[in-house]
Structure 1
Amino acid sequence: MRWGLTVPLTGVPLRDHRPLVAELASLGYTDLWSAEVAGADAFTPLVLASEWDERLRLGTAVVPVHTRGPAALAMSAAALAELAPGRFVLGIGASSETIVTGWNGIAYDPPLARTRDVLRFLRQAFAGERVDGEFDSFTIQRFRLEKAPDVPPAIMLAALRPQMLKLAAREADGAITNWLSADDVRQVRAELGPDKELAARIFVCVTEDAEMARNIGRYLIATYLTVPGYAAFHDWLGRGAAMKEMREAWAAGDRNAAMAAVPIEVLDDLIVHGTPDECRDHIGRYVANGLDTPIIATLPTGTDLLDTARALAPLSLG
């Protein structure tokens, strides 16, 4: 069984992760995955981790396909693949229009086409081929990596709905998903099929104060699940009616009403909370329903997140 952790931990300086990263494998963790939103980029935490540990699998979850040119993305990935040969997974995805256009000033190409084209470009580049020609969403002229990785990284796609999951099943090495319940895993797995790796970031709040956890969840769910891509994902999962009041309040600009409108059952489905043992048991339900790689994202509750990460380890005594 795989067991992953998201880095960097919220509010913990990158350099202060070193002691934790060095002991994660001995605690039973198998994976370390970065994120890329508005904090650290996806690659730097993994470059550091590659020097601090030689056992963990390292993955990006995920690098947006719009915010770097295909060649720049290939070079960054190839460098990390050289530092961690055979244990680097490149997760790529379409991100959102907010991040791509609002924050980076880049046109948001149709996400399925862009993701497919970047995936195909990377396959050729990592194989050491010269890439020269037109893709549907961009044209490449005579690019070849100076040094193709000896062990090309696996490539996984961020996928929330059937079309992207089917693309991952056909052409990638797996899919990475986000903001789903343990029971939702069955529906996602059915679209991906049985033969490709399925990873998911799972938000975990280690506290016996259920209302604290729910309040943290209210803010995150109202912020994230009103984004069009996530809203469509939850419509597909059958949660649209439960989210209707929240979405309407958010669209009207009433953020407090939107947070108050998140149903408790949605909070408890999407935010894992409780004691470390209870959280591990809940994560185990995801695995039992077809998830290969849980990627824990620890939510701050005022306690030391380094200790929280240790407490959630498979071999921890709690």
Structure 2
Amino acid sequence: MIERLGCAIGGLADPEHPGDVASMVRALEGAGYESAWSYEAFGADCFTPLAWWGSHTRTMRLGTDIAQMAARPPTGMAMAAMSLDQLSEGRAVIGLGLSGPQVVEGWYGMPFERPLGWTREYVAIMRATIAGERVAYEGKTYRLPAEGGSGMGRPIRSTLRGGRTDIPICLGAEGPKNISLSAEIADGWLPTNFSPSADDWYRERLELGFARRPGGRPENFEIAPAVSVAFGPDLESAADRIRPFIAYQIGANGAANMNFHLNAIARLGFEEPCREIQAKFLERDREGMVAAVPTEMIEAVALVGPPEKIRADLETKWNRCVATSLIARARFDDLLQLAEVFRTTTGAARQQPA
């Protein structure tokens, strides 16, 4: 059941209408948004926007959805997490992800190899660093201290003291093995292209991971899908605002033979339109790519339409699936309207004090 509402900072980063970000984030906190989330690819980084948001808010959790692992070594990611957490007095949540080979190799200059093993090593090193341990690690991707060089490297402990030693670490995952890995080693799962229609499949993948985790499922394991939201007078006009974004994710946001976003949506029963969208992109037919996105696909992974429809979708679909939180990607006015609609749902009611 969706009991907490978050917002994606990227939804406010509109270069044509930048507005007063400080005023907007304060308004969203006042409207009931429990968390704010930032993402990165090859533009803005995750942590700088969150520090800015955190300086203008008091209670919102500050999450990365996602911070790219190739952008920083695990000790560097832990340093950023610990710094943000101490500055915000314990509000940081770190969502990690690998992205795909186009970004990992083309932007960060690292080979895209052993993604599951890479993630395991990364999380283990981060946890040791955040816990205040003297960090030494021998893995296939990371060796601390490094071999070779001067030979003078030694295990080092962070100098930061007094903060949390268990900052939550979540994984952004779309593939089946990566979803299971989230349940096995992380504190939460941050899916994109998530659909309540695949709830049984998600639960099966998660249970496989929890079964391998010492102690089973942790009590506060968070499942917070990032969901595009668009209000409108009717379904089609609202869906038209989301259509270009979905088309870009399927057609352009990944290699032709390795596109995790395409695979996630194709698994929902949209294999044929996904292949058409990708073909239109490869033909450089941008208008055709967008037109090939069926409204049924948008409804499967987004919240679109008039307020009464979005409220009904929350109650009959999203509140009955495995998700515990929702991270809304939307324009500022839509975020405010979503907060009003969300207040009337049973998930929100459960969070109200008795």
Are the aligned partners of 1:67 and 1:106 in contact in 2 as well (CA < 8 Å)? no
Match of 2:270 in 1: 239
Return the alpha-carbon distance in structure 1 between the equivalents of residues 38 and 99 of structure 2.
14
Structure 1 ranges of 4+ moved more than 4 A:
12-15, 314-318
Query: Shift of residue 15 of structure 1?
Result: 7.8
| Paired residue secondary structure (2:243) | helix
Match of 1:301 in 2: none
Correspondent of 1:95 among 84, 88, 99: 99
The 5 A counterparts of 1:43-58 are 43-58=47-62
Q: Which has the larger radius of gyration?
A: 2
Amino acid at match of 2:13: T
Are the aligned partners of 2:239 and 2:305 in contact in 1 as well (CA < 8 Å)? no
Structure 1 residues 317, 294: CA separation in 2 closer, same or farther (over 3 Å shift)? closer
Q: TM-score under structure 1 normalisation?
A: 0.88
Q: Is 1:80 the counterpart of 2:94 in the alignment? A: no
- Matched residues, percent identical? 29
Return the alpha-carbon distance in structure 2 between the equivalents of residues 99 and 213 of structure 1.
31
Correspondent of 1:291 among 305, 308, 323: 323
Are the aligned partners of 1:31 and 1:58 in contact in 2 as well (CA < 8 Å)? yes
Match of 1:153 in 2: 167
Amino acid at match of 1:263: P
| Paired residue secondary structure (1:63) | strand
Return the alpha-carbon distance in structure 2 between the equivalents of residues 281 and 31 of structure 1.
23
| Paired residue secondary structure (1:62) | strand
Are the aligned partners of 2:38 and 2:65 in contact in 1 as well (CA < 8 Å)? yes
Match of 1:33 in 2: 37
| Paired residue secondary structure (1:61) | strand
Larger deviation, residues 90-99 vs 212-221 = 212-221
Amino acid at match of 1:4: G
Structure 1 residues 71, 220: CA separation in 2 closer, same or farther (over 3 Å shift)? same
Match of 2:157 in 1: 144
Structure 1 residues 15, 43: CA separation in 2 closer, same or farther (over 3 Å shift)? farther
Match of 1:311 in 2: 337
Amino acid at match of 2:205: E
Structure 1 residues 223, 94: CA separation in 2 closer, same or farther (over 3 Å shift)? same
Are the aligned partners of 1:283 and 1:294 in contact in 2 as well (CA < 8 Å)? no
| Paired residue secondary structure (1:120) | helix
Are the aligned partners of 1:127 and 1:148 in contact in 2 as well (CA < 8 Å)? no
Match of 2:13 in 1: 10
CA-to-aligned-CA distance 1:50-86 (integer Å, 9 cap, x gap): 2212211111100011121222211111101112233
| Paired residue secondary structure (2:136) | strand
Match of 1:207 in 2: 232
Correspondent of 1:223 among 240, 248, 253: 248
Correspondent of 1:165 among 179, 196, 210: 179
Amino acid at match of 1:144: R
Q: TM-score under structure 2 normalisation?
A: 0.79
Match of 2:313 in 1: 282
Structure 1 residues 232, 40: CA separation in 2 closer, same or farther (over 3 Å shift)? same
